[in-house]
Amino acid sequence: MSAPRWPHPSQRPAPRGARTNTPSDDVGTLPLPRATQAAVQAAGGVAGCSNLSLALNRLVDTWKPTFDGEEPGRRVTFLHACQRIAGQPRSQQLLADYRQRHETVLASYDIAPWLCRWVDARLTRRLVIGLGIAHPLEVNLTLHRIGGFPYIPGSSVKGATRAVAEDDNGVSSEVVRTAFGGRPEDPAGEQGGLVFFDALPKMFELALEVMTPHQGPYYADAGGSGKVPPADWHGPTPILFLAVEPGAVFTFAVATRQRWSRDRDLEGAVGWLRTALADGLGGKRSAGYGAFEVMP
């Protein structure tokens, strides 16, 4: 016996005496509890939300009540609404508050026995990071869970900087291991002498970006029958997603622990970081995304 198929919350009968809320056309049919639908509607729809992370990951309204597909044009409408959130005064104030807190933390790491250096870098090409994070629209963007703004995790900055250090012919593997610690696959983990922080933006704008896979049936059959070869006659499938516009300024920071040789070697680590920024961070770097220029 097949399991019963429960209707969408908006299709279930309301309890006796309960108030019902019907979403307006500009809000769409949200797969959310009625009280949440009403709150979103009262705020003016998705664009009225002041937290981009909440809107992009929790208020997706591109699905039909039966969850059997996307309504035409709803993806574009939804992503345009998310774009407008970044320009809200409340969103900008929240970013400013977090940046002030971040700068205080960095200053606390610039006191003995620690030493901290930070650089500001301007994005010269669009940034896409977190593409593989699960999302109803297939493509995501790394956003601060509470602040809602895009950021670059310190783990990503550390990994890119380590790759530059490992490619430096004048640096031994022992120096790299002491600076960055052991690799995850090493049997005995070792903490490195360098600490990398999340990179937060000073300002940013979002752009609507597109990727167009051309062999959809081939990728859909991956791991299946193997009878669907990649072919030129397969129809392209445009996929829209959000990216950070060029011109955004991010603050990158690295600190050294007491056991690390501080002044000279920390400047070397900053040099690796500068090279990593020029090479690019995030996804689709081979296509030119994610390149930065360090500001004086």
Higher per-residue pLDDT: 261 or 294: 294
Closest CA to 194 of 260, 252, 272, 107: 260
Higher per-residue pLDDT: 65 or 78: 78
Residue 232 three-state SS: coil
Higher per-residue pLDDT: 132 or 261: 132
Interval 92-108: pLDDT, tens: 999 999 999 999 999 99
Instruction: Provide the pLDDT for residue 151.
Output: 96
Instruction: Provide the pLDDT for residue 247.
Output: 95
Name the least confident of 22-26, 99-103, 173-177: 22-26
User: Distances from the Cα of 69 to the Cαs of 66, 137, 256, 271, in angstroms?
Assistant: 8, 11, 50, 49
4: left (phi over 0), alpha (psi -120 to 50) or beta: beta
Query: Residue 56: is its pLDDT beyond 80?
Result: yes
Q: Confidence band (pLDDT; 50, 70, 90) for 30?
A: low
pTM exceeding 0.85: no
Q: Are 228 and 218 in contact (CB under 8 A)?
A: yes
CB count, 10 Å around CB of 167? 11
Instruction: Provide the pLDDT for residue 26.
Output: 42
Whether the CA torsion 253, 52, 59, 217 is positive or negative: it is: negative
Residue 252, H or E segment? strand 249-256
Return the DSSP state at 251: E
Mean predicted confidence (pLDDT) in 74-92 = 88
**What does the block give as tokens for 217?**
């049936």
User: Distances from the Cα of 53 to the Cαs of 50, 105, 143, 165, 248, in angstroms?
Assistant: 9, 23, 6, 33, 18
Q: Confidence band (pLDDT; 50, 70, 90) for 2?
A: very low
Instruction: Provide the pLDDT for residue 18.
Output: 43
Q: Where are the domains of the chain?
A: 115-294
Query: Residue 215: is its pLDDT beyond 70?
Result: yes
Alpha carbon distance 67, 196 (integer Å): 41
Instruction: Provide the pLDDT for residue 260.
Output: 57
CB count, 10 Å around CB of 73? 9
Interval 237-269: pLDDT, tens: 778 889 999 999 999 999 987 655 655 578 888
Long-range pairs of 48-52 with CB within 8 A, sequence gap ≥ 24: 49/85, 50/85, 50/88, 50/90, 50/91, 50/94, 50/148, 51/85, 51/91, 51/94, 51/146, 51/147, 51/148, 52/82, 52/85, 52/86, 52/91, 52/143, 52/148, 52/149, 52/150
Q: Are 270 and 121 in contact (CB under 8 A)?
A: no
